[in-house]
Structure 1
Amino acid sequence: MKYAEIVVPETPATRAAIEVATAYCSPALLNHSVRAYLWAAAYAAMNDIAFDAELLYVSSMLHDIGLVREFDSHTVPFEEAGGHLAWVFCAAAGWPVERRVRACEVIVRHMWAEVDVEKDPEGHLLELSTGLDISGRRSEAFPEELRAEILERHPRLGIAGEFAACFEDQAKRKPTSLAGHFVRNGFAARVASNVLDR
């Protein structure tokens, strides 16, 4: 698998999603969102997983939007806040209700320990790709050359420290959230030892 073989969908919704992510995310969080899609699409291609590229791309661009100051919720976990924002975004994009719900589900499920690929291929791919990008999980599933090219084109820019700090903040304010659970179970150490940062 080569970087040039990864298909990035070009639709009004995908262009708007990257515009939103660029406007609100830090450079490190933006690159993380882009890499989340690239890892996911590459993994799907290498493992013959059929998926909706537009849905996955929009979900990838918006999956961490609930961590940024403007959209951070003090009442619900960040992934749920992001899912709600995605529902609104997709309504504005003219998507039918069922497709808006799917974007919300994919974003919420990216925090799950595992998502069934048969029931939700986009959720499975985003859960897998974000796990790789943040904690290095399943890095062996990606050719070293592909990893190097993606990281060269979309550098990490200190995402490990930024993300660990975001989760610490989420855990303090929302201790029953999945972010709180992650922090209590060694999240910072896993992020700090990510093979992608070596």
Structure 2
Amino acid sequence: MIGDFNWGNKTAGNLDGFAKIYFSFQAFTEKQKNNKSNPKLFLSNENDFKMPDSAIIKHTIEFLKDTHQQFLINHCFRTYIFGNIYSKKENIVFDKELLAIASLLHDIGLTSGYQNKHANCNCFAIESAIETGLFLESLEQMEKDKIETIQNAIALHLNIKVSKNLPEAYLLNKGAAIDVIGQYYENFPAETMSKIILKLPRLEFKNKMHILMKQQCTIRPQSRMSFLYQHGFHKLIKHSAFDE
């Protein structure tokens, strides 16, 4: 599947002509769907704001805080909360621990200590998936198939559309899209959004993320992010409903 972890390992994360056509079709179909606005508000409760309570989550949060800048840390936590809340919209059954780990580490390939570590990798999402797998394997606390599910979710989060048959990947993609480009912003009650941002401030997120993405486009011109930027993704970040 274009965009998944196996695809990344085979292609180094480079988009060929067929993959670009595939992405263009995804973009068109998503735009058509998003033009049909749904004003229904997303409901949430206190549990939606809480991380799963497990030893592996604690280790992952420690690793996150040791490796990421604060604006990215907050983004990763918000991504999980948004994905968690969105799941109720479509009654999606998923593993909260797997979604939490994928959310917390989906951008480790953008951090100073982990970006551009792999010479045969030209995509930060694939690099993030690789590094997340290595981290989880080092803990020796999680089954291989669960690690692969997390790696796939991280690899796929840059796709324009992800299948609901991969629930953790689907919700990571949705959670990240809500936080980065404000997708479904209007579906969140104002008090819910205010609570999330008060708890996890954005800290000039738009500008800082744009800088990181531009760097990726420069060093990885055949990557998915470069393709997305060529087709206006930077404008979606800049003009999202979030203030910063």
Q: Tell me which of 184, 187, 197 is aligned to 2:230.
A: 184
* Higher relative helix content: 1
Match of residue 184 from structure 2: 138
Larger radius of gyration between Structure 1 and Structure 2:
2
In the alignment, the residues of structure 1 paired with residue 153 and residue 77 of structure 2 have an alpha-carbon distance, to the nearest angstrom, of 16
Matched AA of 1:168: K
What per-residue deviation string (whole Å, max 9, x for no partner) do you get for residues 2-56 of structure 1?
A: 4523142011111111111111111111000000000011111343211100000
In the alignment, the residues of structure 1 paired with residue 225 and residue 169 of structure 2 have an alpha-carbon distance, to the nearest angstrom, of 18
- Given that 1:83 and 1:104 are in contact with CA atoms closer than 8 Å, whether structure 2 keeps it comes out as yes
In the alignment, the residues of structure 1 paired with residue 195 and residue 237 of structure 2 have an alpha-carbon distance, to the nearest angstrom, of 21
Distance 1:143 1:46, change over 3 A: farther
Matched AA of 2:96: A
Instruction: Indicate yes or no: 2:93 matched with 1:50.
Output: yes
Matched AA of 2:97: E
Q: Tell me which of 12, 17, 26 is aligned to 2:69.
A: 26
Instruction: Indicate yes or no: 2:143 matched with 1:96.
Output: yes
Matched AA of 1:70: G
Match of residue 158 from structure 2: 111
For this pair of structures, how many residues does the alignment match? Answer: 197
1:99 CA drift (Å): 1.1
Structure 2: give runs of 5+ residues left out of the alignment: 1-42
Q: CA RMSD in A?
A: 1.4
1:140 CA drift (Å): 2.6
Match of residue 241 from structure 2: 195
Match of residue 152 from structure 1: 198
Structure 1: give runs of 5+ residues left out of the alignment: none
SS in 2 for 1:71: coil
TM-score by length of 1: 0.94
Following superposition, which runs of at least 4 residues in structure 1 exceed 2 angstroms of deviation? 140-144
Q: Tell me which of 116, 124, 130 is aligned to 2:170.
A: 124
Match of residue 62 from structure 1: 105
Identity %: 24
What per-residue deviation string (whole Å, max 9, x for no partner) do you get for residues 60-114 of structure 1?
A: 0100000011110253200000001111122123212111111100001111111
TM-score by length of 2: 0.77
